[in-house]
Amino acid sequence: MFKGVTNPVCDPLASQKSHDGSDTSLGLAGTIYYVSPDLPHFLNVAEYQANGTILDATMFMGDVNIPTRKFDLGFATEGGQLLSTPDGSPLYEYFSLHLESTLQLATGDEAGNYQFAVIADDGAVLKADAGRGFETVVDNDGTHASKLACSQSAYNFGAETKIPMQLDYYQGPRYHVALVLLWRKVPANATAEELADEMCGQAGSTLFFNPDTSPSTPAAAYNGMLDRGWRPVSAANFKLPGALAGNPCNLAAPATSITGAKQPEGIQAAMQFTFESDHPASVFICSLDGAPASPCLSGITYADLASGNHTFVVRAQNDGRLDPVGATHAWTQE
């Protein structure tokens, strides 16, 4: 389904992005759907995607480990723009995600049978193709607080096993989100009793995590799952779909530095800036006094400056990655 990358959005649900500079062949990629709140309140992910509008963006995630937390900041592209609804509001509710990747063992993982589980708020459905076409592995669909759903069977993984997966998720009304994909190693030919877990089917806004802390902190129920062998599927276990050349969100972000700030000769009430990046092929966006950022070149000059305090900000962008901080120069114009 991926024909190219447009407006990459990196780990928008994660409280912190920790995959910069890692293997660009890893990750999950997907599409974002928006559903107008004027439509009926759909109660499953299929209806959200059938009635939703696909946004002009490609979403990348390093892993699927989003503990229950508040989500009201929306989806920011690597160009710094927030994805918005048709009325211009930030998108943080009534959306759906379709994510694709290939599951594999990472270095140090033991070969064997693995059972899957998903914690989600609201609904999520995990599918996998182990040679028979895509089949539902975990059905955690529906509008609910953070809920754990578990697979009824296990999948065998060896060192060379690659199993394509799809994960569909939706978030209804604001404000909490949760999406955690877990697995645990189980005995070969595990019985239904061996695949059962006391928390499967249980739900609650604070049952697994405390969303009122930052970052969210694990609750006793989640820690108990870890004690029973469950663990989040790690970033190294997700191989990017083969149709994509690489994960731009795993590239190291460029760093920006201002190399000069001076009043140019012959121009009154002006300031000229030169700057560079540690990535020679970078392009730049600049902003003066909080105005919207726009493309710029080193040597940019601002003229007819009013007396008083001013602030200049420049950020480098390279291969889709934007310097998250940028470089700043503040001064007082006489």
Q: What is the pLDDT of residues 161-175, one digit of tens each?
A: 999 999 999 998 877
Q: Where are the domains of the chain?
A: 8-249, 252-333
66 within 8 A of 11, measured Cβ to Cβ: no
Task: Please give the C-alpha separations between residue 8 and each of 126, 152, 281, 289, in angstroms, as whole numbers.
Answer: 23, 35, 18, 27
Per-residue pLDDT tens for 133-171?
Answer: 999 999 999 999 999 999 999 999 999 999 999 999 999
Interacting residues of 227 by C-beta distance below 8 A, sequence separation 6+: none
190 within 8 A of 151, measured Cβ to Cβ: no
> The domain 8-249: what is its CATH number?
2.60.120
pLDDT in the model for residue 76: 63
Query: What's the chain's average pLDDT?
Result: 90
Say which DSSP state 184 is in: E
Q: How many other C-beta atoms are found inside a 10 Å radius of the C-beta of residue 299?
A: 11
Would you place residue 19 in the very low, low, confident or very high pLDDT band (cuts 50, 70, 90)?
A: low
Is 3 a residue whose pLDDT tops 60?
no
Residue 18 corresponds to which amino acid? S
- Before 175, cis peptide (omega within 30)? yes
Mean pLDDT lowest among 89-93, 117-121, 126-130: 89-93
For residues 139-149, b (16+ Cβ closer than 10 Å) or e, as one string? Answer: bbbbebbbbbb
Q: How far apart are CA 155 and CA 9, in angstroms?
A: 31
Q: Which CATH architecture has domain 252-333?
A: Sandwich (2.60)
pLDDT in the model for residue 4: 60
* E strand intervals along 62-123: 65-70, 95-103, 112-121
| Token digits of residue 308 | 């008083």
Q: Which of 201, 198, 196, 186 is nearest to 231 (CA)?
A: 186
Write down the number of H helices and E strands in the chain. 3, 24
Q: How far apart are CA 76 and CA 64, in angstroms?
A: 18
Q: What angle do CA 93, 210, 222 make, to 5 degrees?
A: 105
pLDDT in the model for residue 7: 76
Would you place residue 248 in the very low, low, confident or very high pLDDT band (cuts 50, 70, 90)?
A: confident
Place of tokens 């480098």: 316
Interacting residues of 291 by C-beta distance below 8 A, sequence separation 6+: none
Phi, psi for 293 (deg, rounded to 5): -70, 145
| Token digits of residue 203 | 């739900």
Place of tokens 């076409």: 133
Phi, psi for 223 (deg, rounded to 5): -60, -35
Q: Where are the alpha helices (DSSP H) in the chain?
A: 45-51, 192-195, 220-227
